[in-house]
Chains A and B, each alone.
Chain A
């Protein structure tokens, strides 16, 4: 899939700032999210959760709850099937605990009742007899050989003997001779870092409405990043046929990776099957924080050697990530991404995945990368400080570019890192004066991006308008960008196109909305589907004109005769062709199905000024500028929005957000008051600079943009705070007490 030779550098629709198609519904309150629909005879479901971090379930007595007023069904894990695949068994056991509860908030049983109040009252009548077990929530503690074991027998073969059974997998990447590299260094810095777990913090709690009959036919309406994923998970956990389960994705109130799995949908289906009625479950915020999401928490050692001139001679990282009570693979991404921004002769990263008594980790924007890159970029910054070097010049000197053998294996093709660094250097922000207690920090960021399984149908309507059917929930405006790409390719105005998100029965399989894949992969499939429709339209016109198909050219929404033997027919518009489609062979549509590769990696650079208060340890963000390669920004407003939103999530991670567990293994801050995400008054304006280094893997050069922006803020802010406070910070978040302690040490 090379960049098209006839590449449309002169875009008509792509690159403009059109109004999004779901705008009016969303500003008037009409848009229907997960919790916004009702069904006739609907029941309300409610889930009983473990108060213990780790306990064996000796028995569950639901008899009193089942008899309570209004209660129509009670379910436990016994109502689920037995999937063959361990992946689905883990999903099942996270939806309702089987033999043990593995973390504070782990679901144990559920009821469906005629009112919210009746359901809430009934779960208190469920009697669970627990045998409390020792627990562990810290990653380093969990790796010790004598640590309480969260789950036995889950370690992969590559984990050396003698380690705790909580260590489930190990990864190693790199190349070159480390010893020789470090021997060449004039300065070597080695540091240990720790980062707290954070939550995706979507404002819409998980919500679903489910209906399942005794015949195994059912429907689920839910807020999700992937309806096909929900279908697969539910079918496996319930033991029903995927074909009989229709999953409809509602409007989604934020996901950021956190809605790429299921928690409540299988439970609602089980309750519905048992009660014979539709069941709605809406999580509370406390449930969201205790039992969904969060990220890994980490402990990391980074060692980097540098010459006096600023050339990195060798780099090594060892990453320990805990992903909660089930095996997780996130450290692999962290280890691959850690040194991606650098062209290194000798590099090695080791990663360990660890289980603890915490909720099962799920993706959050560039999963694994923000933390490892935070640690690497902190050490690079400290080396620059120690050697008296300009941190941007050092990054430019060592930057990965086309032809660089990346630290994780592949050789880079066209990438935009150098261009973003140069843009940062040229920006007035970089040389603006700083006052007392102020510091400037910067960091590079990287994400792989993803393509994946994608299926699109594009229908030419008989009135000359266009319907696009795609299968990826739209979180941040993707229906607009998909419509724009269809309009661009067909040569019709944007407002002639309507894009809808299909349910699982109406379109072939699509991977979840993740990996910054939708504008890239769905866009690519939409362009190819448009080309298939164009080919068909040209064929129809060739038939009408009585000439060869090859002699009809498509240009700006018209079929035109082309070449010496085509004749002088007047061009036919898309609308004219569509109007008579019934006479030329029937309806016209284009389809494209692909497992897209060529996503094109993404780099960004963030520049931040902070001021620290020496009396309170509070940090204020004074100025923030983002430079990022978007390949081609289809809708620049929404590209900027991704950059700004990701940066602010990173600001929260750097300064405030953390999962705080007590000695008892219980989460102590399960609410938005105590788990504090950034609010408007915490922040300055976030300036954005979009660079466009085309991705050769997409017809218009598009790269995913959604994930990279959360990567640089952690290190950029830590570097700025460290310089402002005069002390190197090595732990996140840099909450006021933690910073104050470091400053007074």
Chain B
């Protein structure tokens, strides 16, 4: 099986890679491009740890093929901070202790950022339903919801 050349943009950088036709975007990111911030918790789209955005849309990268991102724009956790300045969600997740082990954190941050881009002033219920595709086993979600709301308020005020 010959590998397929793919041209894409990842976190604003033009990127080329070769992958097999059955290889997931998650495997490409992690194994071929060294972007290991997206995690594989299930490989079946149930846990959200591999969340990235594809042309602005929130997706599980384990359910997207590497070849599908040809010509697309992909955003991963590695592109969320601006140099040494953390995104408000990132900074507030630390301040509010919204992570314990941290394995779900990249996916939750990507998902939360995607929510706030669409809905800058969500209710708690809207945050909880938007994040229902991101499993966290450590926190019970309470501090995550509070952190997202605090970041949303700060971003609205900015």
Contact = CB atoms under 8 A, between A and B. Distances in A.
Interface of A: 17, 19-20, 22-24, 26-33, 35-36, 116-117, 200-205, 251-256, 282, 284-285, 475-477, 635, 637-638, 640-641, 644-649, 671-673, 677-683, 685-686
A423 to B, nearest CB: 19
A29 B137 contact: no
A680 B86 contact: no
A211 B96 CA distance: 39
Contacts of A252: 101
Contacts of B131: 679-681
Q: Identify the 7 closest CB pairs spanning chains A and B, nearest first.
A: A29-B37, A253-B103, A26-B102, A648-B140, A637-B97, A644-B140, A23-B94
B15 interface: no
A640 B140 CA distance: 10
A203 B136 contact: yes
A285 B43 contact: yes
Nearest to B146: A685
A27 B86 CA distance: 9
A285 B80 contact: no
A471 to B, nearest CB: 18
Nearest to B49: A203
Q: Which of A23, A116, A251 counts the most chain B CB atoms within 10 A?
A: A23
Nearest to B23: A117
Given A27-B109, A673-B44, A254 B140 contact: no
A641 B47 contact: no
A682 B36 CA distance: 30
Given A253-B103, A645-B139, A680-B127, 19 more contacts: A17-B97, A24-B94, A27-B109, A28-B78, A32-B36, A203-B104, A203-B135, A204-B39, A204-B103, A255-B101, A256-B137, A284-B43, A477-B100, A641-B138, A646-B140, A648-B141, A649-B137, A673-B44, A683-B141
Contacts of B42: 285, 671-672
Contacts of B27: 116
Contacts of A29: 35-38, 76-78, 80, 106
A28 B129 contact: no
Contacts of B135: 203, 672, 677, 679
A395 to B, nearest CB: 24
Interface residues of B, number: 60
B144 interface: yes
Given A24-B86, A33-B103, A254-B138, A671 B44 contact: yes
Nearest to B81: A28
Contacts of B106: 27, 29
A117 to B, nearest CB: 7
A202 B137 contact: yes
Contacts of B109: 27
B90 A28 contact: yes
Contacts of A678: 140
B139 A672 contact: no
B99 A26 contact: yes
A649 B77 CA distance: 27
A203 B103 contact: yes
B142 A644 contact: yes
Nearest to B107: A203
Contacts of B36: 29, 32-33, 35-36
Contacts of A17: 97
Contacts of B128: 680-681, 683
A638 B41 contact: no
A202 B132 contact: no
A645 B100 contact: yes
A203 B142 contact: no
25 contacts: A23-B93, A24-B94, A27-B77, A27-B86, A27-B90, A29-B36, A29-B37, A31-B102, A117-B20, A203-B101, A204-B101, A204-B103, A252-B101, A285-B42, A475-B100, A637-B96, A640-B97, A641-B100, A641-B139, A645-B140, A672-B41, A677-B135, A679-B133, A680-B127, A685-B142
B8 interface: no
A168 to B, nearest CB: 30
Contacts of A477: 97, 100
Nearest to A204: B103
A683 B137 CA distance: 13
A735 B126 CA distance: 25
B145 to A, nearest CB: 7
Interface string B75-96: 0111011000010001101111
Contacts of B41: 203-205, 253, 285, 672
Interface string B1-19: 0000000000000000000
B53 interface: no
Contacts of A475: 100-101, 138
A476 B86 contact: no
Contacts of A205: 40-41
Contact of B100 (A31, A204, A638): A638
B61 interface: no
B8 to A, nearest CB: 18
A671 to B, nearest CB: 6
Contacts of B49: 203
Contact of B40 (A200, A282, A648): A282
A22 B102 CA distance: 9
A575 to B, nearest CB: 27
Contacts of A648: 139-141
Contacts of B68: none
A116 B31 CA distance: 10
A686 B86 contact: no
Contact of B129 (A254, A256, A681): A681
Contact of B145 (A26, A33, A680): A680
B47 to A, nearest CB: 5
B140 A35 contact: no
Given A251-B102, A671-B46, A681-B132, A645 B39 contact: no
